[in-house]
Amino acid sequence: MTPRDPALLEECRALQRAVEPYPSWAALTGSAEWPTLDARFARLLGAVRRHTPAVEPPPREGALRVAHWNIEHGNWYEQVERALTGRPEIADADLITLNEVDLGMARAGNRDVTGDLATRLGRHAVWAPLFLETTIGRDDDASTAGGRANEESLFGIAVLSRWPLGEARVIELPSPTAIQFDLERMVGRHIALVVEVLRPGAPFVAVTTHLEVHRARSHRTVEMKVLTDALADETRPVVITGDFNTHTFDRGLWHSPLTAAAALFLASGVALRERFLRPDRGSHHEGLFDVLREHGFAWEPFVDFAPTLQLRYDRVDEARAWDWLARLARPLVAWAVSRGTLRLDWIVGRGWRGGRGVTVHGLDGPGRASDHAPIVAEMEGGPRH
């Protein structure tokens, strides 16, 4: 396993102990300790970790192959590794971007998931943290933790590359920090990780981000605007990837469970497929796509609009409000939730002539490598190398 930094581990543990007594974000940030803790969190979460292969990866001819995957923390690490080395659609990709990537979380075997994958794949890599977790997690995390305690307890995103990586910077995005601390006991924020990829004769910029899931579409639109504004002066080709959480619902409002239920129970199958698989258009579309288009980005050439996540009842925020109905008619609720086949993951580009994209099926779902399917794009154009 990848060597670790004892000083980092001790700081992570100390910060977990420091925030544990506070029942809410308001209580924490209103405390006398907060100015000091805030500065320590800024240092912890603002640092990136780099990995360099022992031997440079071999060259590969043809269009740039980009793979993106939300790997569900690396909870099923061995399956993720096998897929990235053995599935022909994604193996040997030039650029691999990952969301939900743990460092020192028990649910993922307390691995440095990025470091271990970079070593196994022989890739340059950069990882940046989003949050310090103070629990073992949610959903299936307790089962994969296997009774272990966390170590560093960090949750982040990563970029792996065939070519060396230059400057790496973090763009902080507006985030529902109070919700994430109060409900999930995480300290941090959403970010975009922006990395120079030093492809010989044809450098480009790779960006990956994981947008928020708890709030309205307008919040994700603002997050994307902050990101694209930060890239406004970039003249090199740009690839943006990520789990954009484009579920098309406005969460956090009093009527959110009702409107979600109305869609899942009452809308026609055709209408739901159009809404969930094409969140870039229609009456419920996500405004972040308008922002991307305004800044010269395209996604149609690089995706196939297939689903990348299947809703599960035990992971739907609104399910708590549906418990009464589930007790009366669980098969009906299960049927409604099964209609939630969502396109959440995207590859978008600017400065490319075109390309094609595919969703890799068979790796997602309960007991598989992740709850999300990986996606791949062949991107053509930009300066020739």
The rounded percent of the chain whose pLDDT value lies above 70 is 95
CATH number at residue 142: 3.60.10.10
At residue 97, does pLDDT exceed 60?
yes
Kindly state whether residue 376 falls inside one of the protein's structural domains: yes
Predicted local distance difference test score (pLDDT) of residue 383: 45
| pLDDT category of residue 321 using cuts at 50, 70 and 90 | low
Average pLDDT over residues 247-260: 88
Kindly state whether residue 92 falls inside one of the protein's structural domains: yes
Predicted local distance difference test score (pLDDT) of residue 135: 97
At residue 305, does pLDDT exceed 60?
yes
**CA-to-CA distance for 24 and 325, rounded, in angstroms?**
31
| pLDDT category of residue 325 using cuts at 50, 70 and 90 | low
Residues 185-228 have pLDDT tens digits of 999 999 999 999 999 999 999 999 999 999 999 999 999 999 99
Residues 126-174 have pLDDT tens digits of 999 999 999 999 988 999 999 999 999 999 999 999 999 999 999 999 9
Residue type, 233: D
Helix-, strand-, coil-residue percentages of the chain, each rounded to 5: 35, 25, 40
At residue 287, does pLDDT exceed 60?
yes
Kindly state whether residue 266 falls inside one of the protein's structural domains: no
Domain of residue 42 covers 6-246+286-308+343-380
Alpha-carbon 355 to chain mean position: 23
| pLDDT category of residue 385 using cuts at 50, 70 and 90 | very low
Residues 352-367 have pLDDT tens digits of 999 999 999 999 999 9
Average pLDDT over residues 331-347: 89
Kindly state whether residue 324 falls inside one of the protein's structural domains: no
Kindly state whether residue 274 falls inside one of the protein's structural domains: no
Name the residue among 270, 218, 228 with its Cα closest to residue 248.
218
| pLDDT category of residue 101 using cuts at 50, 70 and 90 | very high
**Phi and psi angles of residue 8, each rounded to the nearest 5 degrees, phi first:** -65, -45
| pLDDT category of residue 381 using cuts at 50, 70 and 90 | confident
| pLDDT category of residue 333 using cuts at 50, 70 and 90 | confident
Residue type, 299: W
Confirm if 93 and 83 have CB atoms less than 8 A apart: no
Predicted local distance difference test score (pLDDT) of residue 319: 61
Predicted local distance difference test score (pLDDT) of residue 316: 72
Average pLDDT over residues 75-88: 97
Kindly state whether residue 223 falls inside one of the protein's structural domains: yes
**CA-to-CA distance for 232 and 5, rounded, in angstroms?**
36
Predicted local distance difference test score (pLDDT) of residue 68: 98
Average pLDDT over residues 304-330: 75
Residues 106-116 have pLDDT tens digits of 999 999 999 99
**CA-to-CA distance for 237 and 235, rounded, in angstroms?**
7
Question: For 364, what's the count of Cα atoms within 13 Å in the CB-facing half-sphere?
Answer: 22
DSSP string, 339-365: T-EE--EEEEEES--EEEEEE--SSBS
Kindly state whether residue 20 falls inside one of the protein's structural domains: yes
**CA-to-CA distance for 125 and 362, rounded, in angstroms?**
26
Alpha-carbon 335 to chain mean position: 27
Predicted local distance difference test score (pLDDT) of residue 85: 97
Kindly state whether residue 171 falls inside one of the protein's structural domains: yes
Sign of CA dihedral 217, 292, 209, 27: negative
Average pLDDT over residues 13-18: 98
Residue 298 is classified by DSSP as B
Residues 48-71 have pLDDT tens digits of 999 999 999 998 888 999 999 999
Please count the structural domains in the chain. 1
**What sections of the chain are H helices per DSSP?**
6-19, 25-29, 34-46, 77-86, 113-121, 141-145, 177-184, 217-230, 256-266, 269-277, 288-294, 323-338
Per-residue CA distances from 156 to 127, 191, 305 (Å): 7, 9, 26
> What b/e readout covers 180-208, taking b as 16+ CB neighbours within 10 angstroms?
bbbeebbbbbbbbbbbbbebeebbbbbbb
For the chain, give the mean pLDDT.
94
**Phi and psi angles of residue 351, each rounded to the nearest 5 degrees, phi first:** 90, 15
**CA-to-CA distance for 87 and 139, rounded, in angstroms?**
27
